[in-house]
A and B are shown apart, each in its own frame.
Chain A
Amino acid sequence: MIDRRKWLAVLIQGGSAVMAAVVGIPALLSAISPGWRSRPGGQWRTTGRLADFPLGTVQPAVVKVGRGDWAQTLESKTVYVYRLTDDQVVVYSRNCTDLSCPLVFDAGSECFFCPCHGGIFGKDGKPMAGPPSKPLYRYVTRIRDGELEIDLHSLPPMT
């Protein structure tokens, strides 16, 4: 008799485990699947005509993101364009390299200020104060027909 009970218990436990796995594993995989979606490079977006950025200055530029998904939210993104010479240009993301708070460029002191924990960066992108340890993120850029373009996916996904 005790054997029959034991077998029933094993059957119940095993059956429950199978049922849980049949539902649970696909549920979990589907829920976490965005984690391994591909993030192809070459997402080129224009920041405007290169000639419109004055030499030696840092200027904000608004980029259209164009994700192409089901809502038109967060479709624009501000980046900072630093034109060093005629054809040398750097495009910084607005993320602080500490925790991604939105930097603002102060044309007076020529510094980037982070509003959160005291990060300050120079015009050259190097950290000057606060917790940031890395220089500002720089997008991969190219110039096409006089338009300055950046690859949105050349930086980590939260930028």
Chain B
Amino acid sequence: MAGKVREWVIDRFGLQPIYDKVLNRRVPRAHWYSGDGSTLLALLGIQVVTGAVLALTYSPAADSAYQSVVYLTEQQTLGWFIRGLHYWSAGAMMVVVTFHLLRQILLAGYKSPREGTWLTGVVLFLCILLMAYTGYLLRWDERAIHGIRVMLHMLVRVPLIGESLVMLVQGGPDIGPATLTRLYGFHVLVVPLTMFLMVAFHVYLVVVRGTITQAERTQLVHSAEEQKQLYDEEKESPERGETFFPVTVFKSGLTATLVIGVVIALTVILGPSKLFAEANLTEASIPSEEWWFWWLSGMIALLPPAVAPWFVVIFPLAVFGFLFLLPLLDRGPARGVRNRPLWAALVVIVVIILLGLTDYRRRSTFTGWPESEPPPVPVGMTLPPDAERGRILFAQYGCNSCHPVAGHGRKFAVDFASLQGQMSRDKIREYILQPPAGVKMPSYQGRLDDDQLTALVEFCHVVQTFPLQP
């Protein structure tokens, strides 16, 4: 009976050809790390399911969006878990898609006959970036509103049509309710529909054209025909080939399970991303992008003023221009790591730069900010009365908005504790009144009376004897 039902289902739903052509096919042996594509597919599945649940509660109207996210997180049964999963799975996608992309560059996965797979992949990469960015904005907290403005300010830099682009994205002459509705439509309809089509195409091409194999990585391949011959020999070989289902699927499933395990652990331990105050254009705020864009922010912070305005337009165009043209730019017969040391070096350099910039942004030593608290005096030390008054003035006159004191406070400017007594009182006084040209410090000429100046100089002088903390 059960057998008959099974046969009926297989026949009437046309499952046999799928089994024969997709599951029960021979493929070249896969490595554990080639499960990154399947992992992305699984993470996308999580995004679709959790996203659908979020959309059932989320209010895409600017007056109530924030409250609906608060409700989701605090009131709805397991709402925090769904939001957390959506967030961490998005972060995991950003990491895994970067790995996936760099791996293809490392091994030359874009070479013939896989140009189509590569190009649909680049479109998907762009879609994932857009999703990761617009999802952050839908929370409609103050970070979201400043995040939108940063994007708009990048768009306004586009020559000739800049202002039109800004109005197009924000939905009118001012940032307002239309802005959120447009971003919502973009995040839940426009980009996901594009992704759906592209994923289907991408996966189809992976089935038809396969992924880069061991043989291709070791010997030179001059044409698509040569590759196809090599591929067919490899997949049919008992040692170098395997059956897609269950062998390959099991290996990639293992990678996906591992990553999803990390996603669930992060969700349970850290929960969904923090919500800040509701979107507003009035309160002081220290916005920050999500951690997966820290590298970009760190890079922008390093830009000299002459470069900064056009960089934000040129850089994304250059990156995607490079990615789209890569199959045309690099058409040599060599594939794999060993035959292409320059490409391997390029990928290693990119990874080092990404990690370095991420850390640079994490420390954000380039940001000054008002601090009302006077810097602390090291334990066991008492300051002379003049210096003590100077310590209060140090905060009152915003010196500590930039200068750390023995490692405390903002790290933008020089920490006097690190000078170890090299700066005389006269020199300090001179600096305060008229900083040398090129020093990024305002002049205090005319702002302090003699008494105050003396006190401040005393404090800056005595700080040089403070123990420098690591």
Q: How far is the CB of B302 from chain A (nearest CB, A)?
A: 8
Choose, from B108-116, B347-355, B363-371, the stretch at the interface: B363-371
Instruction: State whether B309 touches A133 (Cβ < 8 A).
Output: yes
B94 to chain A, nearest CB (A): 20
Chain A residues engaging chain B, CB cutoff 8 angstroms: 32, 34-39, 62, 65, 67, 69-74, 76-78, 94-95, 98-102, 104, 106-111, 113-118, 120, 122-123, 127-134, 152-153, 156-158
Residue numbers of B with Cβ under 8 A of A are: 61-63, 145-146, 149-150, 152-156, 161, 163-168, 170-178, 180, 279-288, 297, 300-301, 303-306, 308-309, 312, 366-370, 395-399, 401-402, 412, 440-442, 447
Contacts of A113 in B (CB 8 A): 367-370, 401
- By secondary structure, the A interface counts as loop
9 A–B contact pairs at CB < 8 A?
A34-B168, A35-B161, A62-B282, A99-B154, A113-B369, A115-B369, A118-B301, A129-B368, A158-B152
Q: A158 vs B396: C-alpha distance in the bound complex, in angstroms?
A: 34
Closest to A40 in B: B173
6 shortest interchain CB distances as A-B pairs: A108-B398, A109-B398, A118-B366, A35-B168, A158-B152, A71-B177
Chain B residues contacting A115 (CB-CB under 8 Å) are 285-287, 367, 369
Residues of chain A contacted by B167 (CB below 8 angstroms):
34-37, 39, 157
- Closest Cβ of chain A: how far from B404's Cβ, in Å? 14
Q: Closest residue to A78 on the B side, CB-wise?
A: B282
Q: How far is the CB of B464 from chain A (nearest CB, A)?
A: 21
User: Shortest distance in angstroms between A137's beta carbon and chain B's nearest beta carbon?
Assistant: 11
The answer to whether A34 touches B171, judged by C-beta atoms less than 8 angstroms apart, is yes
Contacts of B149 in A (CB 8 A): 95, 99-101, 158
**B398 interface neighbour in A35, A98, A110, Cβ under 8 Å:** A110
Q: Which of B161, B164, B176, B440 contacts A73 (CB 8 A)?
A: B176
Also in contact, A74 and B176, with CB within 8 A (given A116-B150, A130-B366): yes
Given contacts A35-B165, A99-B312, A120-B368, contact A74 B279 (CB under 8 A): yes
Residues of A within 8 A of B370 (CB): 104, 106, 108-109, 113
Closest to A120 in B: B368
Do residues B304 and A131 form an inter-chain contact, with CB atoms below 8 A? yes
On whether the beta carbons of B282 and A65 are closer than 8 Å, the reply is: no
Give A38 Cβ to nearest chain B Cβ, in Å. 8
Q: Is the CB of B397 within 8 A of A152?
A: no
Complex Cα gap A146–B283 (Å): 26
B139 CB to nearest chain A CB (Å):
14
Shortest CB-to-CB span from A145 to chain B, Å, is: 25
Please state if A152 and B174 are interface contacts (CB–CB under 8 Å).
Answer: yes
